């Protein structure tokens, strides 16, 4: 690893949780998607979320950077409550602007990439640093080139997303998130929309990132990746955490019936 990702942000003590979730509930109308999620993600760890579709793992991930508002419970990132500010015994909802400030430090990678189609790969990466952090364009461009090189796409700086394969787009999307120097990266099924042969490239980049010490929460169906790279793993079903532990233990020796059933279909 030539470059340290977290160079700008001071790392929390290795013991302090980066994300702490206590009894998090989330409903969409009458449909309760999260029914009390308790978990802790330590700083610097790769935390994998697995489970059948509809189990609420993506929703939980989106709650972490407040793309979804939670209905009950307490969710905090790096010691600060997500979406609210506590003053005395009163809880104030954060303004959009304040939420935006907090999101700067949390990178997110989507299943469907969501690159900006009217911008080249390099422009996609420089957009947020220039517009949000006020980095000057030359510096942002230089950093974008470094990041593109890191994800193996140095020659694609001038390409538009429509000219890139799915795997290449997802790697640009990872570079785009890294350009903000996040202290936490969220991956929402980053390889689910890819052709099988392109999955490897994206996983390589993520593995690389994990080795550099980035805190990562990964919603995935890639059990191989979870076992190899993951430090913790949680199996979710029906809006609750069914089983958690070290990926090797959970994946090879699942205790719960539902976990066993799910894994037998996956492997």
Residues at the site binding other proteins, with contacts judged by CB under 8 A: 65, 67, 96-97, 100-108, 110, 112, 114-120, 127-128, 131-132, 160-163, 173, 176-177, 180
Output the 3-class SS for the chain.
Answer: CCCCHHHCCCCCCCCCEEEEEEEEEEEECCEEEEEEEEEEEECCCEEEEECCCCCCHHHHHHHHCCCCCCCEEEEEECCEECCEEEECCEEEECCHHHHHHHHCCEEEECCCCCCCCCCCHHHHHHHHHHHHHCCCHHHHHHHHHHHHHHCCCHHHCCCCHHHCCHHHHHHHHHHHHHCCCCCEEEEECCCCCCCHHHHHHHHHHHHHHHHCCCEEEEECCCHHHHHHHCCEEEEEECCEEEEEECHHHHHHCCCCHHHHHHHHHHC
Closest to other proteins by CB, 116 or 252: 116
Smallest separation (angstroms) from other proteins to the CB of 168: 14
Smallest separation (angstroms) from other proteins to the CB of 118: 4
Closest to other proteins by CB, 89 or 96: 96
Alpha-carbon gap, residue 83 to 97, rounded angstroms: 11
Smallest separation (angstroms) from other proteins to the CB of 85: 17
Closest to other proteins by CB, 131 or 252: 131
Closest to other proteins by CB, 191 or 244: 191
Smallest separation (angstroms) from other proteins to the CB of 117: 5
Closest to other proteins by CB, 71 or 159: 159
CA separation, residue 41 to residues 55, 77, 139, 148 (Å): 19, 9, 33, 28
Closest to other proteins by CB, 96 or 197: 96
Smallest separation (angstroms) from other proteins to the CB of 202: 17
Q: Which two tokens stand for residue 44?
A: 């610097």
Nearest to 181 by CA among 78, 99, 124, 105: 105
Closest to other proteins by CB, 1 or 101: 101
Closest to other proteins by CB, 173 or 219: 173
Smallest separation (angstroms) from other proteins to the CB of 127: 7
Q: List 67's β-bridge partners, or say none.
A: none
Q: Which two tokens stand for residue 109?
A: 């990678």
Smallest separation (angstroms) from other proteins to the CB of 131: 6
Smallest separation (angstroms) from other proteins to the CB of 204: 23
């Amino acid at each position: 690893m030539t470059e340290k990702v977290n160079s700008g942000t001071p790392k929390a003590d290795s013991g302090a949780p980066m994300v702490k979730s206590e009894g998090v509930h989330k409903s969409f109308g009458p449909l309760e998607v999260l029914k009390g999620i308790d978990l802790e993600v330590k700083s610097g760890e790769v935390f994998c979320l697995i489970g059948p579709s509809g189990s609420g793992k993506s929703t939980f991930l989106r709650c972490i950077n407040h793309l979804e508002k939670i209905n009950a419970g307490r969710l905090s990132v790096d010691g600060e409550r997500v979406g609210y500010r506590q003053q005395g015994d009163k809880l104030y909802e954060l303004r959009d602007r304040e939420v935006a400030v907090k999101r700067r430090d949390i990178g997110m990678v989507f299943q469907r990439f969501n690159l900006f189609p009217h911008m080249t790969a390099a422009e996609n990466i420089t957009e947020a640093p220039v517009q949000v952090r006020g980095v000057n364009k030359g510096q942002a461009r230089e950093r974008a080139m470094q990041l593109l090189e890191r994800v193996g796409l140095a020659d694609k700086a001038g390409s538009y997303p429509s000219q890139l394969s799915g795997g290449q787009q997802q790697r640009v999307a990872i570079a785009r998130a890294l350009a903000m120097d996040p202290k936490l990266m969220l991956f929402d099924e980053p390889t689910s929309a890819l052709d099988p042969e392109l999955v490897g490239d994206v996983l390589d980049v993520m593995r690389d990132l994990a080795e550099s010490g980035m805190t990562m929460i990964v919603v995935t169906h890639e059990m191989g990746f979870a076992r190899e790279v993951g430090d913790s793993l949680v199996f979710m079903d029906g809006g609750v955490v069914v089983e958690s532990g070290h990926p090797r233990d959970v994946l090879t020796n699942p205790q719960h019936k539902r976990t066993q059933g799910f894994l037998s279909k996956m492997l």
